[in-house]
Structure formats: structure tokens, C-alpha cells
Amino acid sequence: MHMPRSTDRLDRYRAKRDFTVTAEPSGTEAPQPAGNRFVVQRHRASHLHYDLRLEGGGVLISWAVPKGPTLDPAVKRMAVHVEDHPLGYFDFEGAIPKGEYGGGDVIVWDWGTWTAAHGEDPVQAVEDGELHFDVEGEKLAGRFALVRRGAGEQWLLLHKHDEFAIPGWDPEDHPRSVKSGRTNDEVREAPTASWSHRTSWPAVTADELQALDDIRVSDAWQIGEHTLKNSPT
């Protein structure tokens, strides 16, 4: 089997991006031992889609899923196999500048681990056009299948009938980031608020700032009253 080194596999990814402009990782991090993480990013670019990425072969093997993954076993979702992404993309959340490739906002919609259902090698399975896998995420769980349709990059993503299947389940009903708790709108408003390499904390929301202001006002008021009551006059 021909398996290019992960650095070569990222050529297509790098060719599409200007890393002096976008905050996305350039994929130059040191190679890491084989892992089995998965991530789904909700990406509002020119068209909303979800990016499903499975760690395998030293990269994130990626599909763009326009309507997003679902736990509903009756629904087949179109998934377009896209260029491999660097492992550093795993927790990327932020804004991609307008006019750049994929310009828009990205949240880490779900993450966790995945396992090939029949122990198959993920890189080979993708080459062969069929991958059955189990995920343990915060939103997604259970067995999925990705099946290539024809000779192009169009695949179908579906959830199997298992104990984790939920009829009618819609990813749009679960809009918050599992990394920061933020929505795409909140990330767009403050894209760098929680972005720092591999560490993050939830950004302060407008409501929280208001609550903080309210506390300060009432504290000042109480201190003021206290001072009046105890003034020696």
C-alpha cells in the first residue's frame, strides 16, 4: 500500500492557505504517536457545513458534511472527502479572515475518540472507500459508516441502528462548542478570546460582563451606605 508521509499528505492543505493571514495551524508540529481522536467542527464559511475529522496516518482525515452528522439512523448525509488536515487543527476554533480559503468562523462542535469497527487501518479503509467506526464524543456516540459513492470524493455518512441512535436528532439543536461553550456567533464576535495554542478557557460573555458590572454597582452602593451610616458626624 502506498502511504505518503504525513508531511506530504498536508501539501494540499498548505497550498490552499496563507499562514501569514489565517490563524489556522500550518501543520509543522512534530509527528505524534498514532492517536484515535475525532473532532467535528461547525464551520460557517460561504456555506455552513460540519467538518468531520478522524485522526489516522499522522493527519486528520477529513470530510465536509453540509447538513452535519446525525444520530438519526434513517438519515443519510452527503459527506465530501476533503484534504487531510494537520493534527494541530484538532482543537482549532476561531475566525478565518474573509477572502481566505474557508473564510468564516469555526467552533469545536464535538470531540472524542473513535475506533474502526472491524479493526481496519483507517488510511487503507478510506482508500478503499468504506469505513465503519464507533465514536465516543460529547454529542455523538455509536456506530457510523462512511461509504464512497462512485469514483469522486462524494461519500455518504450514516448512523447505524444501535443503542445510541436517536430518531429525529438534529445537530443544529446542539449549537455550542464543546471546547469553549461558545456559539459560532460568539466566536465571530471575539475570535481570539479563547484562542491560544492548545490551551483555552471560555470567553467572558456579554451577559457575564453585565452581571459583573451589576455586582460592582451594588458593592459600591453598599460601601457608600455603610460609610454614611458610620460617619462620625
Catalog residues that contact Mn ion under the rule CB under 5 A: 43, 51
Closest distance between Mn ion and the C-beta of residue 24, in Å?
10
Closest distance between Mn ion and the C-beta of residue 107, in Å?
11
- Dist. CA 192–CA 143, nearest whole Å: 35
Closest distance between Mn ion and the C-beta of residue 190, in Å?
20
Place of cell 475506533: 115
Is 185 or 225 the residue whose CB approaches Mn ion more closely? Answer: 185
Is 43 or 77 the residue whose CB approaches Mn ion more closely? Answer: 43
Number of neighbours of residue 200 by Cβ within 10 angstroms: 16
- Dist. CA 88–CA 73, nearest whole Å: 31
Closest distance between Mn ion and the C-beta of residue 110, in Å?
15
DSSP H/E element including 6: helix 6-9
Is 43 or 143 the residue whose CB approaches Mn ion more closely? Answer: 43
The SS3 assignment for 122 reads: helix
Rounded (to 5) percent helix, strand, coil in the chain: 20, 30, 45
Closest distance between Mn ion and the C-beta of residue 46, in Å?
10
Is 43 or 139 the residue whose CB approaches Mn ion more closely? Answer: 43
In the chain, the N- to C-terminal Cα span, in Å, equals 91
Is 185 or 219 the residue whose CB approaches Mn ion more closely? Answer: 185
Closest CB to Mn ion: residue number:
43
Residues in CB range of 104: below 8 A, 6 or more apart: 43, 44, 45, 46, 95, 96, 98
